[in-house]
Amino acid sequence: MDMKTIKTYENQKVLVLGLAKSGFSAAKLLHHLGALVTVNDGKVFEENKDAQELLSEGITVITGSHPLELLDEGFTLIVKNPGIPYTHPFVQEALSRNIPIITEVELAYEIADAPIIGITGTNGKTTTTTMIGHVLNQERSNSVARLAGNIGYPASSVAQEAIADDELVMELSSFQLMGITDFHPEIAVITNIYEAHIDYHGSRPEYVQAKWRIQKNMTDKDYLVINWNQTELRELAKSTKATVVPFSTEGQVDGAYEIDGQLFFKGQLIMSVDELGVPGQHNVENALAAIAVASLKQVRPEAIKAALSQFTGVPHRTQYVGTHGDVRFFNDSKATNSLATRMALGGFDHQKLVLLAGGLDRGNSFDELIPDLKGIKAIVLFGQTKDKLADAAQKAGIPIIKFSENVESAVPLAFTLSEPGDTILLSPANASWDQYPNFEVRGDRFVQAMQQLK
């Protein structure tokens, strides 16, 4: 462990609410820092391996429900799992008693020796975070840029390992940012802000404010890298103390920008768009954000170009997974809403594209997809939303619309509909939970089905 040894939590009664990876990590860290930790998780004890392990380490564990009387125990702090909404009765009761509530990224900040680069936004967070890590590690020898946060590596675990010369490249969801107090990145990135998670935040302004919290403790010595294509973000940029570094695909700015298919940082040519290792207009924006961060960290232009041309994408996010019979396969299982699928579709020639889509029905229509579906060669649909999607596909004039049982059976069907030179894209536009435990499993089944064609 190479972290700051802090005394803040010694003998403090702290409640960790909700386990999963981040809660498990937070509970262990707080225990190590001398706190009197209680864990409360909804999953029953017999099925709860994490709770069993924490109990064996001497941590108090209460599972199966969230009893309100637990709050009578005089906790000085609650570390809340980001997935639990503030509207939850237990959280509401804690708030009414003025018990401070944080998420574990705040703990990570408190113990981190390494500076933090924080990335938030509606879409592109994971890709941009991974790109930044990849570029910053391009010419390093004795230190490392470490990915952390919402990307699947709990920030409070990674922060314990990081030395002062490292960087923590941290993907931050709006849910995590709701629970910060002193959290202070030296560079923050906001990729974009669209409609999302309104069910959790209650309203769009609250969602935007949650994202905007990323810069609340920043000073003029820190850099806020921000999408200048978005009017809303240009407006917000007026109210930050941080030094604003814009990126734009719509003309020259005092930061990173694209002009005529070339990518620049403050007048310096970095590379051309067609040298990027990942397709799609949205990835140009992600790359510009990465170029801005890398340039601020003094990475050489040649190294940035080398890193971004080798980068072939994040697993399950418009990821190239192979070719069979001269047909290319892309796994975009992480596209769990229409917007993400629209982004992916922007990167491909529709006349040579077979799309696989469908999944959990959340009551929304797919009318907004219609303009983006136009010109597609064929579509194969599965899951609860297949009929709704077929309706949108018909309105878009897609000539071949087929149904299949699931992703596994959609792949061979899509292959029979394709010709050499075509692309088969899984970009479901829906969550996976009607048929699969998560989008990763759905994407893995797609890859396995492609491999079975051989």
Beta bridge partners of 320: 330
CA–CA gap between residue 95 and residue 88 (Å, rounded):
11
400: β partners: 378
Distances (CA, A) of 429 to 210, 328, 330, 358, 438: 24, 20, 14, 7, 14
DSSP H/E element including 410: helix 407-417
Structure tokens of 59? Answer: 């941590």
Pairing relation of β-strands 319-324 and 327-331? antiparallel
Residue 150 DSSP class: T
Which of 151, 13, 176, 26 has its CA nearest to residue 86?
176
Say whether 255 counts as a known binding-site residue: no
Helix/strand/coil for 176:
helix
Alpha-carbon distance of 445 to 429, in angstroms, equals 17
Residue 378 CB burial class (10 angstroms; 0-12, 13-18, ≥19): buried
Query: What's the length of the chain?
Result: 454
38 is in an annotated binding site: no
Diameter over CA atoms, the chain: 67
- Coil vs helix vs strand at 395: helix
Q: Which residues contact 395 (CB under 8 A, 6 or more apart)?
A: 367, 370
125 in a known ligand binding site? yes
End-to-end Cα, the chain, rounded Å: 46
Rounded to 10 degrees, the C-alpha dihedral 314/18/77/186 comes to: 0
Residues 6+ apart with CB under 8 A from 190: 120, 121, 211, 212, 214, 224, 225, 226, 227, 233
Whether 358 has a binding-site annotation, put simply, is no
Contact in structure between 51 and 19 (CB atoms under 8 Å): yes
Alpha helices in 149-280 (DSSP H): 155-161, 174-177, 198-201, 204-212, 231-236
121 annotated binding-site participant: yes
124 among annotated binding-site residues: yes
Tokens representing 49? 């391996």
Pairing between β-strand 423-426 and β-strand 101-102 as defined by DSSP bridges: unpaired
Residue 191 is assigned to a ligand binding site:
no
Tokens of 73: 């125990």
Binding residues: 121-127
Binding residues for ATP: 121-127
